[in-house]
Amino acid sequence: MATAAAASASEPEAEPKAGPEVEGEEDEVKAARTRRKVLSRAVAAATYKTMGPAWDQQEEGVSESDGDEEYPTASSASSPGEYEWEYDEEEEKNQLEIERLEEQLSINVYDYNCHVDLIRLLRLEGELTKVRMARQKMSEIFPLTEELWLEWLHDEISMALDGLDREHVYELFERAVKDYICPNIWLEYGQYSVGGIGQKGGLEKVRSVFERALSSVGLHITKGLAIWEAYREFESAIVEAARPMAGFLSPFDWEQTFDSQLEKVHSLFRRQLAIPLYDMEATFAEYEEWSEDPIPESVVQSYNKALQQLERYKPYEEALLEAEAPRLAEYQAYIDFELKVGDPARVQLIFERALVENCLVPDLWIRYSQYLDRQLKVKDLVLSVHGRAVRNCPWTVALWSRYLLAMERHGVDHQVMAATFEKALSAGFIQATDYVEIWQAYLDYLRRRVDFKQDSSKELEELRSAFARALEYLKQEVEERFNESGDPSCMIMQNWARIEARLCNNMQKARELWDSIMTRGNAKYANMWLEYYNLERAHGDTQHCRKALHRAVQCTSDYPEHVCEVLLTMERTEGTLEDWDIAVQKTETRLARVNEQRVKAAEKEAALAQQEEEQAEQRRRARAEKKALKKKKKTRGADKRKADEDDEKEWGDDEEEQPCKRRRVENNVPPAGEAQDLEAETGLFGKSAPVDVTPPSKQKERAAALKRDVPKVLHDSSKDSITVFVSNLPYSMEEPGVKLRPLFEACGEVAEVRPIFSNRGDFRGYCYVEFKEEKAALQALQLDRKVVDGRPMFVSPCVDKSKNPDFKVFRYSTALEKHKLFVSGLPFSCTKEELEEICKAHGTVKDIRLVTNRAGKPKGLAYVEYENESQASQAVMKMDGMTIKENVIKVAISNPPQRKGPEKPEARKGPGGPMAPRQMYGARGKGRTQLSLLPRALQRPSPAAAQAENGPAPKPAGTASAATEAPKMSNADFAKLLLRK
């Protein structure tokens, strides 16, 4: 009977394979009935083992045959033959893939997706032993998800044959419930333990599992109900099984046993009704129906209070139900609410629920561990959370540092601490500074272990050897990988020197360390010398202080005045007259040399600025002369054409005798019909008849007429909020307003599309799109970089640059993004799909952006965004140096340089007075290739520049404003100036 009960109890574990979750009321009812049937059979089996076969004869519903027929064991449903392949080729392909995955894991054991794929293939091949080993290795490195654990547990349950196998399954359940808070795993654990109720201590084991499950997930508003019901149904099944036992026990013993079991069920009902859970009303109605006595008033009050609490929690639960995974913002709001309420159990529960979906968010782990460190301070709980945090996010150095502090705070053995630190070193941080930080945390721990009252100790020697190893590790391992040590200021060496000087009274060692610090490129910084001076001042002697300051005066290049002042101050208070004279001589000599170097540098910079200004002036003059000459030729041509037209009007339409110069135009091949007419009109001597060709003057008039047809609309700045600026459009676009309107109407109702044309009627490549609502304008910004006629269209807010000169829109992040990669060296022919195919082998790719120029041509650069930092770091190690279409690419974590705004021109001071600012050619002060609305040939130098070039000019006898600013000139004035030349 015990075997039958175990077999029947294992059936619910196999049920989730059919579907991930029970949906609908009918499925829930069926699941509840199945659970009750299994529990009642298990309890009946335990009673049979206790009472003997006499009770079994009276209980007709319980038999081994019934259990075996209705509830076959899971092992019969998951035989290896289920995974046999139909074709040998596919089986061979899987074997090759398994070998490849095993080889890849031997190279990089931290490849999460590789572990998952290997387990899946081994399971399909029926390699049960290898599957178990692969899962064991993966669980030692990563915490497994609920799906992976349930799959593993179901396989192990199907293979469990005896008590030893059952104990092994119990151990797996214990490991599973420690990774994440999983109500489904707890429910499986409770139901599986019911199968062992007939063994020694089986009943206590079941109750222990259910009580732990209630402590872990019993407060879960949406999923805690299943645990409560399973536990209550188990105890109710025992009550039902105890009723037929009245004939085998004395009335007193039976009544005492029966009442005790009834009280357990009453207690579970009361405890459940005091907790806010979904569907509480149904539980209360069930309790009323089940209980023979009226429900006590205290239970009703607790139930009403729980209902009120449920109303407070419903908005947060509904927000979680409506949002899409991973719902981090919704969980953060829920956590804030629970922290205000202050119930530690509920705070812990909501953190655990959030981490199930956001296990790769380091900030969430930091916040959770910080709460436990400061509020609960329970050793097992705190260390467990810290350990899970570094297993989920091993690349985050802050989690490792906090883990070491928590272990030290709770008195963990030194050997365990050292082993944890070694794991941290092999975690694969993505920055050199991360290694410096973890070494600092471990060295601080070792320093706190040392009793410095003793001259020498084992802990002190260990600390010194750790400092030496840290320096060697940063020099070899870290610098070789990142091309930098991560510690340019030598902070680890500085701390070592301070410990030797202050705590060990070993100034000789401290001086050696500081000398090594200075030889690593830090001698030019004044603050480093002052640190050394303060250390000598506190723990050394005056002679070494003076020596250090004399060296600092000679070597410092950033703030030599400050170092000289410190030296003079020390000699003024402590030195002799001879020391004072030497200090004054050295400081004066040094400062004179520094000032001389600064003057030379200023003169050199001024000369460069002057040279650039002269070159800019030459370019301006050349452009002005070229433009004036071109305009003069155009004016003469226009006058000549005008005179010819007057002659035509005066002498009649004698066009045959007056050949005119025809303008060459593209696509001047006549159509077929016109070609026949021309052939017919050609004379015997090859002379053609007169053809009606529109002269250039007529074409220009037609373009001007077309331009006049477009009404001029002054820009209304009050509509900037509902207007977007569209640029980088093709100049050849025909009817841009008609073509762009349908594109932007997808964002909202468009009031007007205002393309900008030149004076000749040519489209200038940009326009304004005005919407009816501001919401539509904001949505239109999403069309930025959309390809239109082969060019990426730029869409930006409409902002008056004269009022907001510093306004700049850049849609992409310029900060460090550890989950995003920067790929360079790509072949120009590489498409987004090809790059995605390469990148998705190393993780889940969320987005890929190929960088293009304004014409839409690729630049060989790309940004690849992964789902988390772990996948990005793995992709860097595997893809950096990869060859794609004979191009070797470079891959790194995305960390763009800071985008500097345009520098404002400021007068530079030189030996001869203020110098002119550097000419800023572009409209935004960056380069000559950028568009400026004012021609450079017409740009006048600023007053400061004019004074620097020509010297101070005498002020004319006029008003002050007239002296500083010339009268503004119109376009007609400029035209007259050019025509006079």
Phi, psi of 864 (to 5 degrees): -120, 120
Residues 496 and 573 in one domain: yes
- Per the CB < 8 A criterion, the answer to whether 351 and 336 are in contact is no
DSSP state of 298: H
- Per the CB < 8 A criterion, the answer to whether 190 and 226 are in contact is no
Residue 642 confidence (pLDDT)? 56
Burial class (CB in 10 A: 0-12, 13-18, 19+), 795: buried
Residues 186 and 253 in one domain: no
Interatomic CA distance for residues 9 and 564, integer angstroms: 86
Query: Residue 207, SS3?
Result: helix
CA distance readout (Å), 649 to 642, 652, 660, 662, 694:
11, 6, 15, 19, 16
DSSP3 helix / strand / coil % (the chain, rounded to 5): 65, 5, 30
Asked if residue 522 belongs to a domain, the reply is yes
Radius of gyration of the chain (CA): 42
Final residue belonging to a domain, choices 760, 784, 811: 811
Averages of pLDDT over each 10 residues, the chain, 981 residues: 34 36 44 47 44 36 36 38 55 88 85 89 88 91 89 90 84 92 92 87 92 94 93 90 65 76 92 93 92 91 94 94 90 95 94 92 94 92 94 92 96 95 90 94 96 89 95 91 87 95 93 94 92 93 93 92 94 93 94 92 92 92 88 70 50 40 39 39 37 48 51 72 91 88 91 88 90 90 86 87 66 76 90 88 86 82 87 81 86 75 44 41 40 50 40 40 51 63 48
Residues 138 and 151 in one domain: no
Tokens of 862: 């790309």
Residue 655 confidence (pLDDT)? 40
Query: Residue 495, SS3?
Result: helix
Residues 138 and 148 in one domain: no
Query: Which domain does 122 fall in, by range?
Result: 88-142
Asked if residue 363 belongs to a domain, the reply is no
Query: Residue 751, SS3?
Result: strand
Residue 164 confidence (pLDDT)? 81
Task: Name the residue among 440, 513, 427 with its Cα closest to residue 474.
Answer: 440
Task: Name the residue among 850, 841, 844, 915 with its Cα closest to residue 878.
Answer: 841
Asked if residue 850 belongs to a domain, the reply is yes
Residues 385 and 534 in one domain: yes
Burial class (CB in 10 A: 0-12, 13-18, 19+), 137: middle
Asked if residue 641 belongs to a domain, the reply is no
DSSP codes joined into one string, 743-781:
HHHTTS-EEEEEEEE-TTS-EEEEEEEEESSHHHHHHHG
Q: Are strands 763-771 and 786-788 parallel, antiparallel or unpaired?
A: unpaired
Number of domains in the chain: 6
Residue 283 confidence (pLDDT)? 93
Phi-psi label, residue 490: left if phi above 0, alpha if psi -120 to 50, beta otherwise: left
The Cβ of residue 670 has, within 10 Å, a number of other Cβ atoms equal to 11
Q: Are strands 786-788 and 858-866 parallel, antiparallel or unpaired?
A: unpaired
Asked if residue 828 belongs to a domain, the reply is yes
Residue 668 confidence (pLDDT)? 39
- Per the CB < 8 A criterion, the answer to whether 493 and 516 are in contact is yes
Residue 760 confidence (pLDDT)? 82
Residues 522 and 584 in one domain: yes
Residues 795 and 885 in one domain: no
Asked if residue 914 belongs to a domain, the reply is no
- Per the CB < 8 A criterion, the answer to whether 315 and 337 are in contact is no
Asked if residue 53 belongs to a domain, the reply is no
Tokens of 3: 């075997």
| Crossing angle between the packed helical segments 362-371 and 344-357, to the nearest 10 degrees | 160
Interatomic CA distance for residues 161 and 830, integer angstroms: 56
Task: Name the residue among 235, 195, 240 with its Cα closest to residue 211.
Answer: 235
Residues 437 and 577 in one domain: yes
Residues 148 and 254 in one domain: no
Residue 770 confidence (pLDDT)? 92
**Any alpha helices (H) in 372-486, and if so which ranges?**
379-392, 397-409, 414-425, 432-449, 458-473, 479-482
> ∠ at Cα 779 (776, 782), nearest 5°?
150
Interatomic CA distance for residues 563 and 524, integer angstroms: 11
Q: Spell 169-201 as b/e; 16+ CB within 10 A means b.
A: bbebbeebbebbbbbbbbbbbbbbbbbbbbeee
CA atoms within 13 A on the CB side of 238: 22
Asked if residue 187 belongs to a domain, the reply is yes
Residues 174 and 116 in one domain: no
Residue 637 confidence (pLDDT)? 65
Residues 785 and 829 in one domain: no
Residue 925 confidence (pLDDT)? 39
**Any alpha helices (H) in 10-52, and if so which ranges?**
11-14, 25-51
Final residue belonging to a domain, choices 167, 185, 216: 216
Query: Residue 884, SS3?
Result: strand
Q: What CATH number corresponds to the domain at position 432?
A: 1.25.40
Q: What CATH number corresponds to the domain at position 780?
A: 3.30.70.330
Residues 436 and 514 in one domain: yes
Final residue belonging to a domain, choices 164, 190, 216: 216
